[in-house]
Structure 1
Amino acid sequence: MRGLAALLLPAILQLAACQAGGAPPACPAGTAPAAVAELAFGRNGPAGSLRVTDPDWDAFLAEEVTPRFPDGLTSFDAMGQWRGRDGRTAREPSKLLWLVVPDTTLEEAGSRTRPIAAAYRRRFGQEAVLAVYRGGCAAVLGN
């Protein structure tokens, strides 16, 4: 999957990360400031069996995510590992949602994605959704 992402993503989107601390660097010519939100959704239920099927995920994207981000998104299959409230470490198939939102602050990106995480937790009885937010510069190449 990493190889495929390395081949496809640069052709679709160019992204330069901001420096940690201090002001972000000026965006390269042809790009604009953007917030990047990455959300990781576990797919297993409490007993360790697959709870969120591919059709379930597709319906969730269509009903909860696409209306909030109609300009586009990227969804990856992943394998996650985390420690639950019970202290046990679990590995599970996951979905990674990658959202690049031009002209948006990190706070705005968080405000727009927290309802997605809440909807997923309610709909599929999940304990948590991991969210990572960072700033960068983005451009859709070829338009």
Structure 2
Amino acid sequence: MPDRSIPRALLAVLLATAGCGSAAADDSPPPAPEATCASGAPMIRTELFFGMDRLDEPDVTQEQWQEFVDAVVTPRFRDGLTQFDVDGQYLATTEELIREDSRLIMLLHDGSQAASDSIEAIREEYKARFDQESVLRIDEPVCVDF
């Protein structure tokens, strides 16, 4: 089994966001939305990246994933969310390029402590339920107009 000491799907995201200061580096809540939108309302967009590979068990199935979304994510973000199937990759400490199926959930929220706490609960539940090292979180202020 390859060495998975670097968080799953991290390398692809780091390369895609190199130079951006929006990734949450600690457990503090995201910054409050900026109030300078030319149109729409200020909100926070949070992206969560979930790896589907597991070291000592079969990969997370589509059914397990959907049950997780239905039971853990949707109750916390009832107004809606967007999910994507993504292909993640990262360079293991063994210099082996690891590729894995991943899922991305995009959330729009007010940036409150309650929203941040809900996001952290989702991350912790996924790590515990599916024996994962991490769930990558990226927060960014955005302007939203429906």
Q: TM above 0.5, one fold?
A: yes
Deviation of the 1:108 alpha carbon: 5.2
Q: Which runs of 5+ in 2 are unaligned?
A: 1-21, 23-32
- Please give the alpha-carbon distance, in whole angstroms, between the structure 2 residues aligned to 1:67 and 1:83: 35
Tell me, in whole angstroms, the C-alpha distance in 2 between the residues paired with 1:51 and 1:136.
34
Matched, 1:133 2:139: yes
**Counterpart AA for 2:72:** E
**Equivalent in the alignment of 2:37:** 27
When the two chains are superposed, the root-mean-square deviation of aligned CA atoms in Å is 2.7
1:79 aligns with 2:87: yes
Q: Which amino acid aligns with 1:67?
A: P
- Which residue number corresponds to residue 61 of structure 2? 53
CA distance in 2, matches of 1:86, 1:126: 19
For residues 1-143 of structure 1, the aligned pairs below 5 Å read 24=34, 26-29=36-39, 31-46=40-55, 50-83=58-91, 89-101=97-109, 104-105=110-111, 109-140=115-146
**Regions of 4+ moved over 4 Å:** 83-89, 106-109
Structure having the higher helix fraction is 1
TM-superposition CA deviations, 1:7-29 (whole Å, max 9, x none)? xxxxxxxxxxxxx8xx9462123
Question: For the residues of structure 2 that align with 1:50 and 1:131, how far apart are their CA atoms?
Answer: 24
Q: Is the 8 A contact 2:91 2:98 kept in 1?
A: yes
After superposition, the C-alpha distances for 1:4-58 in whole angstroms (9 at most, x for unaligned) are xxxxxxxxxxxxxxxx8xx9462123x11101100000000115x7521111111
Aligned length: 116
Deviation at 1:71, TM superposition (A): 0.4
- Cα distance in 1 for residues equivalent to 2:98 and 2:132: 13
Gaps of 5+ in 1: 1-19
Tell me which protein shows more strand as a share of its residues: 1
